[in-house]
Amino acid sequence: MGKRAAAEAAALLVEDGMRVGLGTGTTVAHLLPALAARHLSIRCVATSPETESRARALGLEVEAFSALERLDMAIDGADQVDPAGWLVKGGGGAHTREKIVAAAADRFVVIVSEEKLVEALSAPIPVELLSFGLRATLRHLGDARLRQRPLSPDGGLIADWHGEVGDPAALAGRLSAVPGVVDHGLFPPGMVETVIVGDGDGATRKVKF
Ligand code: 5RP
């Protein structure tokens, strides 16, 4: 109920003519029909093949993210949101593309149910890794476990890092500095414009960052 309410509220923020980034996951699965129902003239890019095929099936126009250099808005879910606006993403293993899309957007709108709000971020923190040198990369990372799942659409392996998060900025820097890490699931508050939180009764509230 909370996911759907947040997704439907986000769909109302989209305006005719916008270039829109579509995230990945069960919350975004509620966004797509709500967006399609508005019959707007918009150009979308998708952060995963799953989102792309769902969006296309609903009649949304989805294009490859190679021709566009900027987006007006990106809308995506999250696994955790802390009080400062740090996110953990990548539960679906799509965080690398999701971060590229969020960073390209003038406005990044995050849609979550209220249980995603946490006092402090905690593991697991998703990471995407190159297969070249995989064992060495895992050794550098320390406590990281590979997920048993297919490669990402970009050929990466998805793993989860299981240490103490502490300061998210410090951890983000540490994970980014490990050669072989394509990207990690920590998204900084500076990337986030609004978090729309849906509760169990279908009410929503917006938190601005
Ligand atoms: C996928 C993601 C998702 O946005 C995140 O896992 C939240 O998923 P859901 O909406 O299914 O709860 O980051 O990589």
> What does the pLDDT average to over 175-202?
97
Q: Which amino acid appears at position 50 of this protein?
A: E
Q: pLDDT tens for residues 145-157?
A: 999 999 999 999 9
Query: 76 and 111 in contact (C-beta within 8 Å)?
Result: yes
In short, whether 198's Cβ falls inside 6 Å of ligand 1 is no
Give the Cβ contact number of residue 178 at 10 Å: 19
Averaged pLDDT of the chain: 97
Closest by CA to 65, choosing from 50, 45, 40, is 45
Q: Which atom, in ligand 1's list, is nearest to the CA of 111?
A: 10
Q: pLDDT tens for residues 44-83?
A: 999 999 999 999 999 999 999 998 999 999 999 999 999 9
173 secondary structure, DSSP code:
H
Q: How far is CA 129 from CA 28, 104, 135, 142, 147, in A?
A: 25, 22, 10, 14, 11
Residue 40 CB-density burial (10 A; 0-12 exposed, 13-18 middle, 19+ buried): middle
Q: Atom 1 (ligand 1): residue with closest C-alpha?
A: 92
Residue 122: band (very low, low, confident or very high) from pLDDT cuts 50, 70, 90: very high
Ligand 1: centre distance to CA 1 (Å) = 16
The full length of the chain comes to 209
Ligand 1: centre distance to CA 61 (Å) = 22
Catalytic residue among 8, 98, 128, 193: 98
Strand, helix or coil for residue 4:
helix
In short, whether 21's Cβ falls inside 6 Å of ligand 1 is no
In short, whether 156's Cβ falls inside 6 Å of ligand 1 is no
**38: pLDDT strictly greater than 90:** yes
**209: pLDDT strictly greater than 90:** no
pLDDT reported for residue 4 = 98
Query: 191 and 102 in contact (C-beta within 8 Å)?
Result: yes
pLDDT reported for residue 44 = 98
Query: 63 and 71 in contact (C-beta within 8 Å)?
Result: no
Q: Which atom, in ligand 1's list, is nearest to the CA of 126?
A: 14
Query: 110 and 77 in contact (C-beta within 8 Å)?
Result: yes
> What does the pLDDT average to over 17-23?
98
In short, whether 77's Cβ falls inside 6 Å of ligand 1 is yes
In short, whether 90's Cβ falls inside 6 Å of ligand 1 is yes
**117: pLDDT strictly greater than 90:** yes
Q: Which atom, in ligand 1's list, is nearest to the CA of 185?
A: 13
Query: 48 and 101 in contact (C-beta within 8 Å)?
Result: no
Q: Is 193 a catalytic residue?
A: no
Beta bridge partners of 146: 159
Q: What's the CA gap between 60 and 139, in Å, rounded?
A: 43
In short, whether 79's Cβ falls inside 6 Å of ligand 1 is yes
Q: What's the CA gap between 190 and 196, in Å, rounded?
A: 16
151 token code pair: 């490669």
- Looking up tokens 């879910």 gives 77
Query: 132 and 180 in contact (C-beta within 8 Å)?
Result: yes
pLDDT reported for residue 135 = 97
pLDDT reported for residue 96 = 98
- Looking up tokens 């971060």 gives 99
